[in-house]
Amino acid sequence: MAVQINPSILSADFARLADEAKAAEGADWLHVDVMDNHFVPNLTLGVPVVESLARATDTPLDCHLMIEDPDRWAPQYVEAGAGSVTFHAEAAAAPVRLAREIRAKGARASMALKPGTPIEPYEDLLPELDMLLIMTVEPGFGGQAFLDIMLPKIRRTRELIGKHGLELWLQVDGGVSAATIERCAEAGADVFVAGSAVYGAKDPAEAVRALRTQAEGATASAAWACDH
């Protein structure tokens, strides 16, 4: 499974988003946090900014919708240019229908789980998804400390993916840095969202390369990857 590094523009300079997108050279995706001040206690950006960013960069956009009523809004982010759209299990009224609609419009469909939401009730939904996102902080704000108590949940999710023989990406978001990325990779994650670890660095592109090297090293010796 290939390691992917997705810098989060939540930690970038919003006045210079096009330049900040270019600064994270080598990134697999740009992670775009959409917050509505209802589902989470913060307000960020929406469809018009995603449309503009999609025109300004060749790096595909990974939109993480921390919003109410994603069943209504998620398809608009595909139309705005997102290559992957993540909705929250806690907010979606009809997650299977929504995942299928996102895929039908041409994007990858992803579902996110808050730290307190278990994976097990959603086992039967996994074949409908292209990616599952496990939040390793409470969603809403960047710069939070990584929650180590999420590592067992990452492991259980990886086991379920293997049990069903799925080519499902497993993303982690929240507190991912040089100090935590190897633990995430060892537990089973293969897609890593990093905000301040990339955009807080002097050289964002070098930070992307360094994080990738760490994650690849940890993955190479991880039991789950050896069994794949």
**Start-to-end Cα distance in the chain:** 8
Bridge partners for 43 per DSSP:
36
141 appears as a binding residue in the annotation: yes
Is 227 catalytic? The answer is: no
164 appears as a binding residue in the annotation: no
Q: What's the count of helices (H) and strands (E) in the chain, helices before strands?
A: 9, 8
175 appears as a binding residue in the annotation: yes
Q: Which of 33, 36, 62, 130 is catalytic?
A: 33
E strand or H helix that includes residue 104: helix 95-104
148 appears as a binding residue in the annotation: no
- 207: helix, coil or strand? helix
195 appears as a binding residue in the annotation: yes
Burial of 46 (0-12, 13-18, 19+ CB in 10 A): middle
106 appears as a binding residue in the annotation: no
Max Cα-Cα span within the chain: 45
What does the alpha-carbon distance between residue 5 and residue 28 come to, in Å, rounded to a whole number? 6
200 appears as a binding residue in the annotation: no
217 appears as a binding residue in the annotation: no
142 appears as a binding residue in the annotation: yes
38 appears as a binding residue in the annotation: no
Is 190 catalytic? The answer is: no
173 appears as a binding residue in the annotation: yes
Q: Which of 28, 36, 130, 173 is catalytic?
A: 173
Neighbouring CB atoms inside 10 A of 6's CB total: 28
E strand or H helix that includes residue 95: helix 95-104
Which stretches of 164-203 are DSSP H helices? 181-187, 196-199
Binding site membership for substrate: which residues? 8, 64, 140-143, 173-175, 195-196
Binding site membership: which residues? 8, 31, 33, 64, 140-143, 173-175, 195-196
Residues marked as catalytic: 33, 173
Binding site membership for a divalent metal cation: which residues? 31, 33, 64, 173
